[in-house]
Amino acid sequence: MDALRHRGLPHAAVVMTPETATVHVDEIFLSLQGEGLEVGRPQLFLRLGGCPLRCTYCDTPRSWQASGSLSIQEIEAELDRLLHEAGLRREQIMLSVTGGEPLEQVDFLAAWLPTWGGLVLLETAGVYAAKLRLLLPYVHLLSLDWKLPNTVRQGESLLEPAACLAVAVVSGVAVQVKLVVTAMTTRAELEDAFAAIAKISPGCTVFLQPVTQFGAGPGPPTGKQLLDWSLQLFHFHLDLRVLPQIHPMLGIR
Ligand code: SF4
Protein backbone atom coordinates (compact mmCIF):
# COMPACT_ATOMS: atom_id res chain seq x y z
CA MET A 1 0.00 0.00 0.00
CA ASP A 2 2.94 2.31 0.53
CA ALA A 3 3.30 2.42 -3.24
CA LEU A 4 -0.08 4.12 -3.40
CA ARG A 5 0.99 6.90 -1.04
CA HIS A 6 2.10 10.29 -2.30
CA ARG A 7 2.45 9.42 -5.94
CA GLY A 8 2.30 13.05 -6.88
CA LEU A 9 0.00 12.45 -9.84
CA PRO A 10 -1.97 15.36 -11.36
CA HIS A 11 -4.41 17.32 -9.22
CA ALA A 12 -8.10 16.41 -9.15
CA ALA A 13 -10.05 17.00 -12.36
CA VAL A 14 -12.27 20.07 -12.53
CA VAL A 15 -15.31 18.19 -13.86
CA MET A 16 -15.73 14.86 -12.15
CA THR A 17 -17.21 11.88 -13.95
CA PRO A 18 -16.51 8.23 -13.11
CA GLU A 19 -14.14 8.20 -16.10
CA THR A 20 -12.17 11.33 -15.23
CA ALA A 21 -12.42 11.59 -11.45
CA THR A 22 -9.25 11.53 -9.39
CA VAL A 23 -8.84 11.91 -5.66
CA HIS A 24 -6.11 12.51 -3.12
CA VAL A 25 -5.57 9.25 -1.27
CA ASP A 26 -3.51 8.76 1.85
CA GLU A 27 -3.98 5.02 2.30
CA ILE A 28 -6.22 2.07 1.51
CA PHE A 29 -6.32 -0.92 3.82
CA LEU A 30 -8.39 -3.66 5.39
CA SER A 31 -8.68 -3.73 9.17
CA LEU A 32 -11.02 -3.91 12.12
CA GLN A 33 -13.16 -0.85 12.74
CA GLY A 34 -11.79 0.66 15.92
CA GLU A 35 -14.57 3.09 16.84
CA GLY A 36 -18.30 3.55 17.18
CA LEU A 37 -21.25 1.34 16.31
CA GLU A 38 -19.28 -0.85 13.91
CA VAL A 39 -16.42 -1.44 16.36
CA GLY A 40 -14.68 -4.77 15.96
CA ARG A 41 -16.03 -5.52 12.48
CA PRO A 42 -13.69 -5.98 9.52
CA GLN A 43 -13.95 -3.03 7.16
CA LEU A 44 -12.23 -1.63 4.12
CA PHE A 45 -10.72 1.79 4.76
CA LEU A 46 -10.22 4.52 2.20
CA ARG A 47 -8.38 7.38 3.86
CA LEU A 48 -8.46 10.48 1.71
CA GLY A 49 -5.71 13.08 1.91
CA GLY A 50 -6.30 16.74 2.72
CA CYS A 51 -7.77 18.37 5.82
CA PRO A 52 -8.42 22.06 6.56
CA LEU A 53 -8.41 21.48 10.34
CA ARG A 54 -5.62 21.00 12.82
CA CYS A 55 -6.92 19.14 15.87
CA THR A 56 -4.73 19.08 18.97
CA TYR A 57 -5.09 15.30 19.18
CA CYS A 58 -4.78 14.40 15.48
CA ASP A 59 -3.27 10.93 15.11
CA THR A 60 -2.84 11.08 11.33
CA PRO A 61 -1.10 14.40 10.52
CA ARG A 62 0.21 12.72 7.38
CA SER A 63 -3.36 12.89 6.02
CA TRP A 64 -3.39 16.70 6.14
CA GLN A 65 -1.61 16.72 2.78
CA ALA A 66 -3.66 16.64 -0.41
CA SER A 67 -1.23 14.48 -2.32
CA GLY A 68 -1.25 11.05 -3.92
CA SER A 69 -3.99 11.34 -6.56
CA LEU A 70 -5.58 8.15 -7.84
CA SER A 71 -8.29 7.45 -10.40
CA ILE A 72 -11.46 5.53 -9.63
CA GLN A 73 -10.04 2.60 -11.54
CA GLU A 74 -6.87 2.59 -9.42
CA ILE A 75 -8.82 2.85 -6.16
CA GLU A 76 -11.23 0.10 -7.11
CA ALA A 77 -8.37 -2.13 -8.24
CA GLU A 78 -6.72 -1.81 -4.81
CA LEU A 79 -9.98 -2.26 -2.88
CA ASP A 80 -10.91 -5.28 -4.98
CA ARG A 81 -7.41 -6.73 -4.52
CA LEU A 82 -7.81 -6.50 -0.73
CA LEU A 83 -11.26 -8.07 -0.95
CA HIS A 84 -10.02 -10.86 -3.21
CA GLU A 85 -7.15 -11.66 -0.81
CA ALA A 86 -9.69 -11.92 2.02
CA GLY A 87 -12.15 -13.99 -0.03
CA LEU A 88 -14.83 -11.30 0.21
CA ARG A 89 -17.13 -9.41 -2.13
CA ARG A 90 -18.00 -5.70 -2.00
CA GLU A 91 -21.47 -6.28 -0.64
CA GLN A 92 -20.15 -8.34 2.30
CA ILE A 93 -18.11 -5.67 4.03
CA MET A 94 -18.55 -1.99 4.83
CA LEU A 95 -16.29 0.60 3.24
CA SER A 96 -15.18 3.30 5.66
CA VAL A 97 -14.38 6.58 3.91
CA THR A 98 -12.27 8.65 6.24
CA GLY A 99 -9.50 11.22 6.21
CA GLY A 100 -8.22 13.80 6.45
CA GLU A 101 -11.57 15.34 5.75
CA PRO A 102 -13.45 13.44 3.02
CA LEU A 103 -15.82 16.33 2.31
CA GLU A 104 -12.84 18.29 0.94
CA GLN A 105 -13.22 15.98 -2.08
CA VAL A 106 -16.97 15.82 -2.34
CA ASP A 107 -16.98 16.02 -6.15
CA PHE A 108 -15.01 12.80 -6.40
CA LEU A 109 -17.16 11.02 -3.83
CA ALA A 110 -20.37 12.17 -5.52
CA ALA A 111 -19.11 10.71 -8.80
CA TRP A 112 -17.87 7.43 -7.33
CA LEU A 113 -19.97 6.35 -4.33
CA PRO A 114 -23.15 5.72 -6.39
CA THR A 115 -21.21 3.09 -8.34
CA TRP A 116 -19.52 1.30 -5.44
CA GLY A 117 -22.24 -1.22 -4.63
CA GLY A 118 -21.46 -1.90 -0.97
CA LEU A 119 -22.28 -0.34 2.39
CA VAL A 120 -20.52 2.95 3.13
CA LEU A 121 -19.54 4.57 6.42
CA LEU A 122 -18.61 8.24 5.98
CA GLU A 123 -16.53 9.92 8.65
CA THR A 124 -16.53 13.73 8.79
CA ALA A 125 -15.35 16.40 11.20
CA GLY A 126 -18.61 18.28 10.72
CA VAL A 127 -17.64 20.74 8.02
CA TYR A 128 -19.51 21.69 4.84
CA ALA A 129 -23.11 20.66 5.56
CA ALA A 130 -24.18 21.56 2.01
CA LYS A 131 -21.57 19.20 0.55
CA LEU A 132 -22.52 16.49 3.01
CA ARG A 133 -26.11 16.60 1.78
CA LEU A 134 -24.96 15.56 -1.70
CA LEU A 135 -23.37 12.36 -0.42
CA LEU A 136 -25.92 11.13 2.09
CA PRO A 137 -28.03 9.17 -0.45
CA TYR A 138 -25.00 6.88 -0.86
CA VAL A 139 -24.05 6.63 2.83
CA HIS A 140 -25.36 3.97 5.24
CA LEU A 141 -23.77 5.24 8.45
CA LEU A 142 -22.58 8.78 9.08
CA SER A 143 -19.95 9.20 11.78
CA LEU A 144 -19.95 12.85 12.85
CA ASP A 145 -16.85 13.87 14.77
CA TRP A 146 -18.22 16.74 16.89
CA LYS A 147 -15.22 18.89 17.80
CA LEU A 148 -15.25 20.35 21.29
CA PRO A 149 -13.95 23.91 21.95
CA ASN A 150 -10.17 24.32 22.19
CA THR A 151 -9.46 21.11 20.31
CA VAL A 152 -9.01 22.70 16.87
CA ARG A 153 -5.97 24.94 16.31
CA GLN A 154 -6.84 25.85 12.72
CA GLY A 155 -10.02 25.94 10.65
CA GLU A 156 -12.46 26.30 13.54
CA SER A 157 -14.62 28.69 11.51
CA LEU A 158 -15.34 25.87 9.05
CA LEU A 159 -17.02 23.73 11.69
CA GLU A 160 -20.78 23.38 11.45
CA PRO A 161 -21.55 20.10 13.24
CA ALA A 162 -25.09 21.13 14.15
CA ALA A 163 -25.90 21.88 10.51
CA CYS A 164 -24.34 18.56 9.46
CA LEU A 165 -26.38 16.67 12.02
CA ALA A 166 -29.55 18.45 10.94
CA VAL A 167 -28.90 17.53 7.30
CA ALA A 168 -28.34 13.92 8.31
CA VAL A 169 -31.54 13.78 10.37
CA VAL A 170 -33.57 15.10 7.44
CA SER A 171 -32.00 12.54 5.11
CA GLY A 172 -32.82 9.64 7.43
CA VAL A 173 -29.28 8.19 7.37
CA ALA A 174 -28.07 6.34 10.47
CA VAL A 175 -25.85 8.66 12.52
CA GLN A 176 -23.34 8.28 15.29
CA VAL A 177 -21.82 11.33 16.92
CA LYS A 178 -18.31 11.05 18.33
CA LEU A 179 -16.88 13.45 20.87
CA VAL A 180 -13.18 12.99 21.50
CA VAL A 181 -12.56 13.95 25.11
CA THR A 182 -9.25 14.76 26.77
CA ALA A 183 -8.01 15.46 30.29
CA MET A 184 -8.75 19.14 29.56
CA THR A 185 -12.38 18.67 28.50
CA THR A 186 -14.88 20.32 30.83
CA ARG A 187 -18.38 19.31 31.85
CA ALA A 188 -19.67 22.67 30.57
CA GLU A 189 -18.32 21.95 27.06
CA LEU A 190 -20.01 18.57 27.06
CA GLU A 191 -23.28 20.02 28.37
CA ASP A 192 -23.32 22.53 25.49
CA ALA A 193 -22.62 19.86 22.89
CA PHE A 194 -25.17 17.43 24.31
CA ALA A 195 -27.85 20.12 24.47
CA ALA A 196 -27.28 20.95 20.80
CA ILE A 197 -27.29 17.29 19.75
CA ALA A 198 -30.41 16.43 21.77
CA LYS A 199 -32.28 19.38 20.27
CA ILE A 200 -31.55 18.30 16.69
CA SER A 201 -31.63 14.52 17.11
CA PRO A 202 -33.32 13.27 20.30
CA GLY A 203 -31.97 9.88 21.37
CA CYS A 204 -28.98 10.15 19.03
CA THR A 205 -26.16 7.66 19.56
CA VAL A 206 -23.20 9.53 21.02
CA PHE A 207 -19.79 8.12 21.81
CA LEU A 208 -17.53 9.76 24.36
CA GLN A 209 -14.17 8.66 23.01
CA PRO A 210 -11.23 9.18 25.37
CA VAL A 211 -8.42 10.46 23.23
CA THR A 212 -5.65 8.12 22.16
CA GLN A 213 -2.63 10.25 23.02
CA PHE A 214 -0.46 10.98 20.00
CA GLY A 215 2.97 12.58 20.43
CA ALA A 216 2.80 15.71 22.59
CA GLY A 217 -0.99 15.92 22.21
CA PRO A 218 -3.40 15.90 25.14
CA GLY A 219 -3.92 12.79 27.21
CA PRO A 220 -7.21 11.05 28.04
CA PRO A 221 -9.46 11.74 31.02
CA THR A 222 -9.55 9.19 33.82
CA GLY A 223 -12.07 6.38 33.89
CA LYS A 224 -13.67 7.99 36.93
CA GLN A 225 -14.09 11.24 35.00
CA LEU A 226 -15.72 9.40 32.10
CA LEU A 227 -18.13 7.67 34.47
CA ASP A 228 -18.97 10.97 36.17
CA TRP A 229 -19.68 12.66 32.84
CA SER A 230 -21.84 9.75 31.71
CA LEU A 231 -24.03 10.12 34.78
CA GLN A 232 -24.08 13.92 34.67
CA LEU A 233 -25.13 13.88 31.00
CA PHE A 234 -27.75 11.17 31.43
CA HIS A 235 -30.59 13.67 31.59
CA PHE A 236 -30.18 14.53 27.90
CA HIS A 237 -31.61 11.06 27.08
CA LEU A 238 -29.07 10.43 24.36
CA ASP A 239 -27.80 6.93 23.58
CA LEU A 240 -24.51 7.64 25.31
CA ARG A 241 -21.62 5.19 25.38
CA VAL A 242 -17.99 5.50 26.42
CA LEU A 243 -15.67 3.74 24.01
CA PRO A 244 -11.92 4.11 23.48
CA GLN A 245 -10.41 3.30 20.11
CA ILE A 246 -9.62 -0.41 20.02
CA HIS A 247 -7.26 -0.57 17.04
CA PRO A 248 -4.31 1.03 18.91
CA MET A 249 -4.82 -1.52 21.71
CA LEU A 250 -4.69 -4.31 19.14
CA GLY A 251 -1.64 -2.86 17.42
CA ILE A 252 -3.35 -2.54 14.05
CA ARG A 253 -4.27 0.38 11.77
S1 SF4 B 1 -10.19 16.52 11.30
FE2 SF4 B 1 -9.20 14.51 11.57
S3 SF4 B 1 -7.47 14.51 10.09
FE4 SF4 B 1 -8.14 16.65 10.33
S5 SF4 B 1 -6.77 17.47 11.92
FE6 SF4 B 1 -8.66 16.76 12.94
S7 SF4 B 1 -8.23 14.64 13.62
FE8 SF4 B 1 -6.66 15.23 12.05
Q: How many folded domains does the chain comprise?
A: 1
**How many whole angstroms from 124 Cα to the centroid of ligand 1?**
9
Q: 55: Cβ below 6 Å to ligand 1? A: yes
Q: 100: Cβ below 6 Å to ligand 1? A: yes
pLDDT confidence of residue 226: 98
- The enclosing domain of 51 has a CATH number of 3.20.20.70
Most ligand 1 atoms within 8 A of CB, residue of 47, 54, 55 to mutate? 55
**How many whole angstroms from 241 Cα to the centroid of ligand 1?**
22
* Residue 94 · residue 119 · CB < 8 Å: yes
Ligand 1 atom nearest to 145, measured from its CA: 1
SS3 content of the chain, % helix, strand, coil (to 5): 40, 25, 40
Domain span including residue 42? 2-250
Most ligand 1 atoms within 8 A of CB, residue of 25, 53, 98, 127 to mutate? 53
Hey, whose CA ends up nearest to atom 2 of ligand 1? Answer: 100
> Per-residue confidence at 17, pLDDT binned at 50, 70, 90?
confident
- Parallel, antiparallel or unpaired: strands 205-210 and 174-181: parallel
Q: What is the mean pLDDT of the chain?
A: 93
23 vs 34, 40, 163, CA distance in Å? Answer: 25, 28, 26
Hey, whose CA ends up nearest to atom 6 of ligand 1? Answer: 55
**What pLDDT digit, counting tens, does each position of 121-175 carry?**
999 999 999 999 999 999 999 999 999 998 999 999 999 999 999 999 999 999 9
**What pLDDT digit, counting tens, does each position of 166-194 carry?**
999 999 999 999 999 999 999 999 999 99
pLDDT confidence of residue 14: 45
Hey, whose CA ends up nearest to atom 5 of ligand 1? Answer: 54
Closest by alpha carbon to 172, among 137, 130, 124? Answer: 137
Q: What are all long-range contacts of 74-79, with beta carbons under 8 Å and residues at least 24 apart?
A: 74/4, 75/23, 75/25, 75/28, 75/46, 75/112, 78/1, 78/4, 78/28, 79/28, 79/44, 79/46
